[in-house]
Structure 1
Amino acid sequence: MSPTLTLPDAIAQDFGLIADLIQIHAVEQPDSLALRDSERTLTYSGLNALMDRVAAALQRDGLAVDDAIAICAWSSVTYATVFLGALRAGVAVAPLAPGSTPESLARMQRDAQAKLVFADASTADVLGAPEACIPRIALDGSDVGRAFDDWLAPEGAKPTRVAPEPSSPFNIIYSSGTTGEPKGIVQGHGMRWSHVKRGARYEYGPDTVTLLSTPLYSNTTLVVFFPTLAFGGQVILMSKFDAAAYLRLAQESRVTHTMLVPVQYQRLMAHPAFDAHDLSSFQYKFSTSAPFGAALKADVLKRWPGGLVEFYGMTEGGGTCILEAHLHPGKLHTVGRPAEGSDIRLIDDEGREVPAGGDGEVVGSSAGMMVGYHRQPEKTREAEWFAPDGKRFIRTGDVGRFDAEGFLTLFDRKKDMIISGGFNIYPSDLEAVLRGHPAVADVTVVGVPSEAWGETPIGYVVRKPGDDTEPAVLLEWTNAQLGKTQRLAALHLIDELPRSAIGKVLKRELRDRHGRG
């Protein structure tokens, strides 16, 4: 990076490095806050200096471009600094979910070929005893590993300049950390740079204050985290989501941007004190990662100032649809239209494009695509679809349909679609009906084995507080509104739906629960 390059010139480049943008901010606005958590703040000059020390320490320990570290901890200023410092050294980061099983975490560390693991006290139990070949660094001064301050290069240390390519690994995001065999999604520097370029549309700048309550190991968070810092804004990190604390922070800090998953919007809008908070500073609110109901979007638009933007895509990349809900209130049932530079198509079970107006699996191609699954070329091939002209697309596993104006409506995950008696049933259709009952606070529908039909749908419902509607009443009410082939075979009450840390319903757990009787 040229020392005289300004921020607008840097971002205008076809490709650049996010770590270089931090250096520009350290010169242009050294005393502006960059990062904040409940215990610590860091200015851009402080962040830049600490990134240098992290990068220098990694290089001292023999790590080079394309090597990797792992971070298994809850969000903090120190976590963010290690991530950014690794990028300055050209070292890829594998952020691991602390909620994973010890067995999964061990597999992920080995799969990433992590040379170092950064952790905190809260993850000591799940990480288990350190593997002899992978040194461990404690981010919080705990005894989970070598103290971070002791490991860090001395003040004033400068790393050797590196120049990663667009395809060089930026991070490795693991798609399965609670159950199943984890797959490492390798995202390149070019993919992250495309997110920065897109950020100009959403008014990121030095006055931006972004509040993030989703974890830093999630791609959901990083989609907003990096553009905020790229444009010189401030990021406030919450280690855990709490609706009351979120609302208080948002009001006190005059937050302008945020990323929330749909279940967090649901909990915030239902909080009794929501309307008592001054949220007028908000410019943009984002959402991704899970289905976002039209009624909930409408409630957010009505009661929460600022724009509402839904991103639809995969961690693997391949293309994005964007719904700017505040501009298209009549399209809240959709996930929007393909973003600029995204080629989104629909294909049938034989891999042929479906005609206009037809249903098919969503596939996408763009500059923002994963390099592949780390060390799993066969899984990478399974995730790819190639057009007749050879253009590479990533398969989403979602089934959808474009309307006449180019907006995409999703029906369901292909793997979650229920085939009952030869008929295709989309759980989302049944869930939409159930949500219309005044007793229902949350709901999901899954397919389970049936001797008579092959598969049959059953529902799991969380009732609203204080409601005592019987399951049989809900079942009868729902089935009266469904077609004969769609009807639920059973409906169960549940205190809370099992969800991942970013709000996705873990349907596999419910299927397993049913199987165990």
Structure 2
Amino acid sequence: MNWLDSLMDEPFVCITDMLRRFAKTRGEHAALICGDEVLTYAALDARVERFAAALQRDGIQPRDAIALCASASVDYVVAFLGGLRAGAAVAPLAPASSAASLVGMIGNSAARLLFLDADVKRLLDPVAADIGATPVALDGHAGSVALDAWLAPQGTAPTPVTIDPAWPFNIIYSSGTTGTPKGIVQSHGMRWAYAVRSVQRGYGPDAITLISTPLYSNTTLVSFMPTLTFGGTVVLMPKFETTRYLELAQRHRVTHTMLVPVQYQRLMAHAEFDRYDLSSFQAKFCTSAPFAASLKADIVRRWPGRLTEYYGMTEGGGSCQLEADQWPDKLHSVGRPMEGHDIRLIDERGNEVPLGEVGEVVGHSPAMMTGYYRQPDKTAEAEWYDPSGKRFIRTGDMGRFDADGFLTLLDRKKDMIISGGFNVYPSDLEGELRQHPEVADAAVVGAHSQQWGETPVAFVVLRAHARISAAGLLEWVNTRVGKMQRLSALTFLDSLPRSPIGKVLKRELREQFYPVSR
């Protein structure tokens, strides 16, 4: 049995203890690559030590929070891991958030230190008086203490901290696209359990993982953390661009990656995709947004390595996975519940629905959030208990199980359109629109209707050199759907508004084009 196999029986190991181990056993191996910058395990561990020692010097105690808000960089990783080594809860915040939203998240986390970059500093300057956290500049910009000056001196070691697996590992804030962001607390024990399960996906000392999604997102962390936990190499790409991504994948002989659907879509549409050597890939993953069956099929056909789609929430609860290359007839689904995950469907009254009927997805698993940070009422709203008292997390997604146990998602509960008393699922209409050869992307929302209460309207992005008119496409799709599904309007856009992680911001579409729709 090798050392990796022996770890599978460990109930808990702190991830930063693994980093210290690799600093001693494979110190010259590349841990991080970002552009021309390469940090070995020995160098990364030494910098993490200095960071943790500086936190302790500034009075940060175990389970206190620190906040990170910056683009991906080597020093962002140092700050994240240094916080963990000191026992702090790390709150990674989205730089694309509004200043008011960031003030709210920093206040909710009670972070005393905020590690940021120049772009975030400019955003927060007008509200600096409302932020209680002391800023430290990861990129050394003027106006804040620079990281190199803030770090403890070379060779300084922090006072050892024994991490309890129940302690908070991170506080990840929900996108806030439907309201005030909520802090989702995940524990050290949960992160270790997830890392151990990832070994079966090939994460280990030979893994080379290309990261091009934001480091504040759970989507990224589920691929990033297992790579470093088991001694692999992370190639950081601070800003996604298709040609650059393909060049990095080929140059570094990348084995693993996590991408969101819109990134896969752009890569597969790249004119020279097929000329790049991607034969080193072992596993590709996708999550966070609807993943079209036709796109999955194209990836399986043209991109080496397994393709796995994950469905789940940052909050935890149940997750599904679809091994796309193994189930070509199930690409319309998000797969079956993962081992040890209990996923059920419930109706408006909280009762389970029979097989084949539509219900809200609720899930229970070993990887569940502790709760929303300092928001017990919001935590209670997100929970459902079965008659035995077993705790589940509500997803807000509507879905249906087939006879083989595969889950097909219909839509977010809040996005479902009720037209003339009938439930209309936007995803059905979006899928139909994408069948047209001149359509690149589509989103459907509900608009107010005097006659029907709500009516579906569409926003469409056309492919280059498309010739069809909006009226022509509207007529085309309405001949292919049921009477109550027919679109009442269709608008062409250059692009759909998306979050940094690739989710279509339907609220923006409603507010911009149909402000009285909700």
State whether TM-score is above 0.5: yes
Q: Deviations over 1:453-507 (max 9, x none)?
A: 1111000000101113110000000000010010001000001000000100000
Matched letter for residue 237 of structure 2: M
Conservation of the 8 A alpha-carbon contact between 1:210 and 1:256: yes
User: 1: distance between equivalents of 2:402 and 2:61?
Assistant: 48
Residues 434-457 of structure 1, C-alpha deviations (whole Å, 9 max, x = no match) = 001111011010011111111110
Bigger shift: residues 166-175 or 307-316: 166-175
RMSD: 1.4
Looking at structure 2, the residues matched to 360 and 163 of structure 1 have their Cα atoms a distance apart, in angstroms, of 43
1:15 equivalent among 12, 31, 36: 12
The equivalent of 2:368 in structure 1 is 369
1:127 is matched with which residue? Answer: 124
Q: In the TM superposition, what is the alpha-carbon distance from 1:215 to its structure 2 partner?
A: 0.6
> Secondary structure of 1:469's partner?
coil
Cα deviation 1:2-44 (Å, max 9, x = unaligned): xxx9554344312221111111111221111001111421111
Cα distance change on mapping 1:144 and 1:267 into 2, 3 Å: farther
Q: Does 1:281 align with 2:265?
A: no
Q: Which amino acid aligns with 2:68?
A: I
Q: State the distance in 2 between where 1:68 and 1:205 align.
A: 30
Note the 1:222-371 alignment, pairs <5 A. Answer: 222-371=221-370
Contact 1:7–1:24 (CA under 8 A) maintained in structure 2? no
Q: What secondary structure is seen at the aligned counterpart in 2 of 1:298?
A: helix
Residue 419 of structure 2 aligns with an amino acid whose one-letter code is: S
Q: Distance in 1 between matches of 2:218 and 2:488?
A: 36
Q: 2:86 aligns with which of 78, 86, 89?
A: 89
Looking at structure 2, the residues matched to 315 and 305 of structure 1 have their Cα atoms a distance apart, in angstroms, of 28
Find the aligned partners of 1:302 and 1:399 in 2 and give their Cα distance.
30
1-side partners of 2:4 and 2:45: how far apart? 15
Other-structure match for 1:221: 220
Q: Which residue of 2 aligns with 1:450?
A: 449
Structure 2 residues not aligned, in runs of 5+ = none
Name the amino acid aligned to 1:102: A
Given residue 267 of structure 1, which amino acid in structure 2 is its aligned partner? R
Matched, 1:24 2:30: no
Letter in 2 for 1:242: E
Equivalent residue pairs, number: 513
- Is residue 113 of structure 2 the alignment partner of residue 116 of structure 1? yes
* TM superposition score normalised by structure 1: 0.97
Deviations 1:63-101 (A, max 9, x none): 111100111100011101110111011101111111111
Alignment of 1:61-100 (within 5 A): 61-100=58-97
Shift of 1:516: 4.4
C-alpha distance in structure 1 between counterparts of 2:21 and 2:285, whole Å: 27
| 1:166 shift after superposition | 2.6
- SS of 2:498's partner is coil
Distance 2:295 2:507 in 1: 25
Deviation at 1:419, TM superposition (A): 0.4
Looking at structure 1, the residues matched to 199 and 18 of structure 2 have their Cα atoms a distance apart, in angstroms, of 14
How far does the alpha carbon of each residue in 1:168-205 deviate from its partner, in whole angstroms, 9 at most, with x for none? 11111111356731111111112211210111110111
Q: CA deviation at 1:114?
A: 0.6
**For 2:178 and 2:434, how far apart are their aligned partners in 1?**
28
- 1:35 maps to a residue whose letter is L
SS of equivalent residue, structure 1 residue 394: strand
1:253 is matched by which residue type in structure 2? H
Cα deviation, 1:275-327, whole Å, max 9, x if unaligned, reads 11110000000000000010000000000000001110001001211111112
Is residue 2:182 matched to residue 1:183?
yes
Check conservation: 1:170, 1:189, Cα contact below 8 A.
yes
Tell me what 2:193 maps to. Answer: 194
* Whole-angstrom distance in 2 between the partners of 1:144 and 1:294: 49
Gaps of 5+ in 1: none
Check the 8 A contact 1:412/1:427 in 2, yes or no: yes
Deviation of residue 107 (structure 1)? Answer: 0.8
Partner of residue 503, structure 2: 504
In structure 2, C-alpha distance between the alignment counterparts of 1:137 and 1:298, rounded to whole Å: 46
1:380 corresponds to which residue? 379
State whether residues 7 and 21 of structure 1, in contact with CA within 8 Å, keep that contact through their aligned partners in structure 2: no
Q: Aligned with 1:460: secondary structure?
A: strand
Which residue in the other structure is 1:484 paired with? 483
2:209 maps to what in 1?
Answer: 210
| Partners of 1:386 and 1:167 in 2: CA distance | 22
Deviations 1:232-256 (A, max 9, x none): 1100111110001001111111110
**CA, structure 1 residues 347+144, in 2 after alignment: closer, same or farther (shift >3 Å)?**
farther
Deviation, 1:163, is 2.4
In the alignment, the residues of structure 1 paired with residue 497 and residue 292 of structure 2 have an alpha-carbon distance, to the nearest angstrom, of 18
Does residue 1:52 correspond to 2:44, yes or no? no
- Percent identity reads 60
Counterpart mapping for 1:413-492 below 5 A:
413-492=412-491
The answer to whether structure 1 residue 165 and structure 2 residue 179 are counterparts is: no
Residue pair 1:104, 1:179 contacting (<8 A) in 2 also: no
- Letter of the 1:448 partner, please give it: A
Note if contact 1:97-1:177 (Cα within 8 Å) is conserved in structure 2.
Answer: no
SS class of match (1:143): coil
CA distance 1:164–1:492, change in 2 (3 Å): same
Q: Answer whether contact 2:177 2:507 (CA < 8 A) is retained.
A: no
- Distance in 1 (alpha carbons) for counterparts of 2:405 and 2:11: 27
Q: Deviations over 1:253-278 (max 9, x none)?
A: 11100000000000000010101111
Aligned to 2:155: 156
Residue aligned with 1:350, SS: coil
In the TM superposition, residue 138 of structure 1 has moved relative to its aligned partner by 0.5
Report what 2:399 is aligned to: 400
Give distance in 2, aligned partners of 1:125 and 1:196.
36
C-alpha contact 1:10 1:21 (8 A) present in aligned 2? no
Q: Which residue of 2 aligns with 1:515?
A: 514
TM (normalized to structure 2)?
A: 0.97
In terms of mean alpha carbon deviation, does 502-511 or 164-173 score higher?
Answer: 164-173
Q: Is the 8 A contact 2:442 2:461 kept in 1?
A: yes
SS state at 1:12 partner? coil
Measured in 1, the distance between the counterparts of 2:152 and 2:318 equals 40
Contact 1:101/1:178 (8 A) holds in 2: no
